Amino acid sequence: MRSYNCDHFDSGSMRIRVDYNNMLTSAVGEHGITMEELDEIKPRLKAALNSAEAKRDSMRWRDLYRSERPNIERIKAVAANIRQTADNFVLLGIGGSALGPIAVQQALAHLRHNDLKKAAAGAPRIFIEDNIDPERMAALIDVIDLEKTVFNVITKSGSTSETMSQLLIVVRLLIDRFGEDALKDRLIATTDSEKGSLIGIAKKYGLTAFVVPDGVGGRFSELCPVGLLPAAVAGIDIEKLLDGAQFMDELCSTDEIEKNPALMLAGLEVLAMEKHGANIGVLMPYADSLKYFADWYAQLWAESLGKKRTENGRTLRFGQTPVKALGVTDQHSQVQLYTDGPFDKTITFIGVESFRRTVGIPHAFDDIPNVAFLSGHTLNELINAERVATEHAVTVSGHMNKTIILPEVNEFTIGQVLMLFELQTAFAGELLSIDAFDQPGVEEGKNATYALLGKPGYDEKLAELNSASQKDPKYII
């Protein structure tokens, strides 16, 4: 067991907190988790912690805060050059190659980053293109000046159809406009060091290339160059991100279960699923800056735990459907369901204690008491009051919920949240004896796409698809 020692970090008041009281029967009544259930799962939790520890060498994502430190200077130098020379930075990638960068950018860059003038932003506009909707691609080309644009193509496998199609479109544009030699100044590749086609392309055209290390799957890759380069381009302090992740990993290495936040969260969610039918997990941050964390988490949790077999082949059909929500917006959309609907879910709120900006609510209609009571408060107070109020409403209606509090949204706290959720997912996988790091269902879809578009070697898959599509379609209109 690794020792529990976080003292070398001056975490100050920047340690995130996790309050799980409202997951328990003592708070929510009969649909909550009992103390007996919590006691019962403890031996399984210890075993999960130990087996994750034993697999540390293959879970390289867990050590990125250490292994990426030697690459920081190079990442920062490349980012500094882009910040200085480019007006646009375009990331081409999908799934784990985009959701982390989107979440971190939204959390830590200015919320209207692309609307700022470059001098104020100190960085190019940033576009993270994770879909291949033709209208979206065409619209992007409409708004960027190729002359001042740097592209970062990110694909761990080096072969994903969506990303490679985007790459082909961009490369054609660049070659037609600037010639082949210019690719190396305008295109950066982030990919596996050997596998896939992208690394060969990078070598052939002399592109700046960054490596997605072995043992780091897409959805666990935010703390390697997949996420670090785009973050550095945005001006985010990537070393502090790594510090936050390290701090959390050390917290989550203790076998004192109640002090290990990721282990406790994994245990609570698994109990909620196994014993209380919570097939749905809602993540509801109360901060626009954390809005896309819910997207990142949805992929992490769904793709890692949505499995039909255990590691030893037992059929399981496991998984919890993640739902993304945003406070307070979705109070006016989903919360009615979360209070009065079925007991089939857990809700995880994320709150921010101290926002980076304060906006006061001024006086204007002091003669209308029903409006005037708001004056003199701040939006900061209002959003947090609404979070507390919603937690209360959900709790008194008997629904399991918990809250993660960030003292502030900054690199150190975001690094903690990234590692907390990654470890929660890995521990849950170990608890259930499922492989949280593969994605056979996603691969099946990728293979079917290759077959449909005529990739060599996929004839059998094409025949399978053709025979399936011969079945009678049943249209309504």
Is 363 an annotated catalytic residue?
A: no
Binding of ligand PA5 at residue 219 (CB under 6 A)?
yes
Nearer to ligand PA5, 289 or 439 (CB): 439
DSSP H stretches of helix in 234-332: 238-251, 261-276, 293-305
Task: Please give the residue whose beta carbon sits closest to ligand PA5 in the complex.
Answer: 218
Strands of the sheet containing 187-191, edge to edge, are: 125-129, 88-92, 149-155, 187-191, 208-211
Binding of ligand PA5 at residue 217 (CB under 6 A)?
yes
Strand, helix or coil for residue 207: coil
Binding of ligand PA5 at residue 101 (CB under 6 A)?
no
DSSP H stretches of helix in 306-439: 335-340, 369-372, 379-396, 411-432
Span near ligand PA5 by CB under 6 A; candidates 35-43, 127-135, 214-222, 468-476:
214-222
Contact letters (x/-) for ligand PA5, 276-305, by CB under 6 A? Answer: ---------------------------x--
Q: Identify the residue among 71, 88, 157, 424 touching ligand PA5 (CB under 6 A).
A: 157
Q: Cis (ω within 30 of 0) for the bond into 18?
A: no
Is 303 an annotated catalytic residue?
A: yes
d(C-alpha 378, C-alpha 29), whole Å: 34
Q: Identify the residue among 124, 218, 225, 429 touching ligand PA5 (CB under 6 A).
A: 218
Binding of ligand PA5 at residue 439 (CB under 6 A)?
yes
Is 446 an annotated catalytic residue?
A: yes
For ligand PA5, the binding residues in 162-181 under the rule CB under 6 A are 163
Among residues 303, 391, 422, 430, the one annotated as catalytic is: 303
Q: Give the list of residues 6+ apart from residue 152 with CB closer than 8 angstroms, or none.
A: 89, 90, 91, 92, 93, 187, 188, 189, 190, 229, 230
d(C-alpha 131, C-alpha 114), whole Å: 19
Strand, helix or coil for residue 272: helix
Closest CB 215 distance from ligand PA5, rounded Å = 12
Per-residue CA distances from 334 to 11, 237, 311, 327, 366 (Å)? 35, 35, 36, 10, 33
Binding of ligand PA5 at residue 132 (CB under 6 A)?
no
Nearer to ligand PA5, 86 or 418 (CB): 418
| Binding residues vs ligand PA5 (CB under 6 A) | 94-97, 155-157, 160, 163, 217-219, 303, 439, 442
* Catalytic residue set: 303, 332, 446
